[in-house]
Amino acid sequence: MTKAEEKKARKALWKKFVDEKFTILAPDMLPIHFEIFTAVLAAKGLNLKIVPPMGREAKDEGLRTVQNDACYPAIITTGQFVSELKTGKYDLSKTAVIMSQTGGGCRASNYISLIRKAFEKEFPTVPVLSLNFSGLEKLYSIPLDLSTSMKLLYSVMYGDLLMNLVDQAEPYHDREKVQAALRGCLDSLKAQAAHRAFYNAKKNYRMILDAFKDLKPAEERKPRVGIVGEIYVKYSPYANNHLANFLVEQGCEVVYPSLAEFCLYCLYNNINDYKRYGQGKKTVFAFKIAYKLFLRATRNEAKITKEAGFKAYEDFEYVVSEGEKVIDTGVKMGEGWLIPAEMVAYAEGDTKNIVVVQPFGCLPNHIVGKGMVRPVKALVPEANIIPLDFDASSTQVNQENRLKLMLANLRRKP
C-alpha cells in the first residue's frame, strides 16, 4: 500500500468509527486524567469508554488468554478487555479496543499483538487500535490533529494538578468533600473540552486551586510516601490493588510523580538519542520544541500551585540532575533512568519513604527499580525504600503485609 492509499484507508476507517458510533474501550490507568481525555476525544466524535473497575476475574482472564511469561500489565490489561467484552453489554460489530504503544524496545510496543492473539477465537471482529506517537500501526493508530493533540496535553496538565491536590487533601480532610471538589473541577473541564476555553490554562488552574482552597494539608504533615515504578502499575488502582488508598488509610500522605514528568522523560530520551547516536535527525527539532513548551507549562503550573499554598511537583530538570548522581540517562528501557531519578529526588527532599512498584515479568524495571535501591540508599542512607512486586496470581494480603513492614520503619520526620 502506498502512503497516500494508507492515509485514505486510515481516514475511512476512523470515519466509520465516528459515523457508526463505535464504542472504543480503553484500559484504566489514571482515573482523573482519563476522564478528561475521554471528554476531549468525545468532542472529536470518538466514543472512548474506560473499562470499569473489575475484580479478580479479569486477572484470571488475562492469565488464561495471554502466555504466562508476559509481563503483569500485559496480562491484566488484556484480561480487562476480554472480561468486559464477555459481559454482553456491547454490540461487537460496533466495538473496538485501544491500547498505547511506546515504540520502545520493551513489551509495551507489543501489547497490540498480544491482545489480537487473545481475541482471535472469541472476538475476531473487534479491531485492536493503537495510540502512539512513533508511527506504528499506521492504519490502526488514532489520527490526532493538532488541536486534539494540544487538548490532550492540556488534559495532562489539568489531570496532574488535580491528582496532586487530591493526594495532598485526602489524608487531612473528609473524603467526600475532596471528591466533591474533584467532581466539580472535572465537570467544568469536561464542559469546556469542545471549546477554546479549554486552552485557558491559567484560568483553569485558578478554578481548580480555588475549589481546593479549603482543603489544604494540615501544617503538621503526615509521613509522605512516594510511589514510583512502572507507569501502569504505579498509577492504576486496579493494577496496584488500591495502593494509594491503603497508604492513606494507614495514616500516610501519598506522593505521585506527574504524568507530565513521564512525557518529558520520553521527549528527553528522543533528544538524547540524537545527541548520542545521531538518531532521529528529521524529528529531533520537533521534539526539542515540544520539550521546551512542555517544560515551560510544568513550571507555570508549579509556580501557581506553590502560590496557592500547595506543594508542587519537582522540576523535571532537577529530577534529571538528581538521577545523574546514580545512573546514566542513556538507560531508557522501560521507565529507565526515571525511576532511580525520582527515588533520589524524593529521598533528598521531604519524601524519605518510597515504594517502588515492580510488575511480574518486567526485566527492565527490575533492573532500574529494585536493582537501584542499593545505590540510592548509599547516596541517601536515611531513605526508607521498599520494592513491591505485583503479579496476577499474588494476593493483596501479601502486598499489604510487606507495606506494613515498611510502615513500621517510617521516618516520621523528613
Indicate the residue among 106 and 376 with the shorter CB distance to ligand SF4. Answer: 106
Nearest to 261 by CA among 375, 341, 204, 173: 341
Residues 271-300 that bind ligand SF4 (CB under 6 A): none
> What is residue 129's three-state secondary structure?
strand
Indicate the residue among 40 and 357 with the shorter CB distance to ligand SF4. Answer: 357
Q: CB of 318: closest distance to ligand SF4 in angstroms?
A: 24
Burial class (CB in 10 A: 0-12, 13-18, 19+), 114: buried
Q: CB of 70: closest distance to ligand SF4 in angstroms?
A: 8
C-alpha angle with apex 49: 47 to 55, nearest 5 degrees? 165
Q: CB of 267: closest distance to ligand SF4 in angstroms?
A: 18
Three cell numbers written together for 246: 491503603
Kindly state whether residue 332 participates in binding ligand SF4, applying the rule CB under 6 A. Answer: no
Q: CB of 306: closest distance to ligand SF4 in angstroms?
A: 32
Q: CB of 128: closest distance to ligand SF4 in angstroms?
A: 16
Indicate the residue among 171 and 359 with the shorter CB distance to ligand SF4. Answer: 359
Given 171, 257, 323, 359, the residue binding ligand SF4 (CB under 6 A) = 359
Give alpha helix (H) positions in 349-395: 363-368, 373-379
Residues 82-141 that bind ligand SF4 (CB under 6 A): 106-108
Cβ-contact 382, 411 below 8 angstroms? yes
Given 27, 229, 334, 387, the residue binding ligand SF4 (CB under 6 A) = 334
Kindly state whether residue 365 participates in binding ligand SF4, applying the rule CB under 6 A. Answer: yes
CB atoms within 10 A of CB 77: 28
Kindly state whether residue 370 participates in binding ligand SF4, applying the rule CB under 6 A. Answer: no
Q: CB of 112: closest distance to ligand SF4 in angstroms?
A: 12
Indicate the residue among 74 and 129 with the shorter CB distance to ligand SF4. Answer: 74
How far is it, in rounded angstroms, from Cα 414 to Cα 314?
A: 16
> What is residue 134's three-state secondary structure?
coil
Residues 148-207 that bind ligand SF4 (CB under 6 A): none
Kindly state whether residue 230 participates in binding ligand SF4, applying the rule CB under 6 A. Answer: yes
Site string for ligand SF4, 66-85 (x = CB under 6 A): -----x-xx-----------
How far is it, in rounded angstroms, from Cα 372 to Cα 339?
A: 9
Tell me which H or E stretch contains 39: helix 31-42
Indicate the residue among 22 and 390 with the shorter CB distance to ligand SF4. Answer: 390
How far is it, in rounded angstroms, from Cα 303 to Cα 309?
A: 10
Q: CB of 361: closest distance to ligand SF4 in angstroms?
A: 7
Kindly state whether residue 384 participates in binding ligand SF4, applying the rule CB under 6 A. Answer: no
Indicate the residue among 14 and 111 with the shorter CB distance to ligand SF4. Answer: 111
Task: Tell me which stretch binds ligand SF4 (CB under 6 A): 44-52, 82-90, 211-219, 361-369.
Answer: 361-369
If you write DSSP's letter for every residue of 245-300 in order, what string do you get? HHHHHTT-EEE---HHHHHHHHHHHHHHHHHHH---TTTHHHHHHHHHHHHHHHHH
Q: CB of 117: closest distance to ligand SF4 in angstroms?
A: 16
Alpha-carbon separation of residue 92 from 34, 45, 179, 268, 279 (angstroms): 23, 19, 34, 40, 42
Indicate the residue among 130 and 192 with the shorter CB distance to ligand SF4. Answer: 130
Task: Tell me which stretch binds ligand SF4 (CB under 6 A): 15-23, 197-205, 299-307, 356-364.
Answer: 356-364
Indicate the residue among 32 and 70 with the shorter CB distance to ligand SF4. Answer: 70
Burial class (CB in 10 A: 0-12, 13-18, 19+), 134: middle
Three cell numbers written together for 149: 493533540
Kindly state whether residue 266 participates in binding ligand SF4, applying the rule CB under 6 A. Answer: no
How far is it, in rounded angstroms, from Cα 51 to Cα 87?
A: 11
Number of amino acids touching ligand SF4 (CB under 6 A): 12
Question: Helix, strand, coil % (nearest 5) of the chain?
Answer: 55, 10, 35
Give alpha helix (H) positions in 193-258: 201-211, 231-235, 243-249
Indicate the residue among 127 and 336 with the shorter CB distance to ligand SF4. Answer: 336
Indicate the residue among 302 and 339 with the shorter CB distance to ligand SF4. Answer: 339
Task: Tell me which stretch binds ligand SF4 (CB under 6 A): 82-90, 150-158, 300-308, 357-365.
Answer: 357-365
2's CB contacts (< 8 A; 6+ apart) are none
Residues of this chain that bind ligand SF4 (CB under 6 A): 71, 73-74, 106-108, 230, 334, 359, 362, 364-365
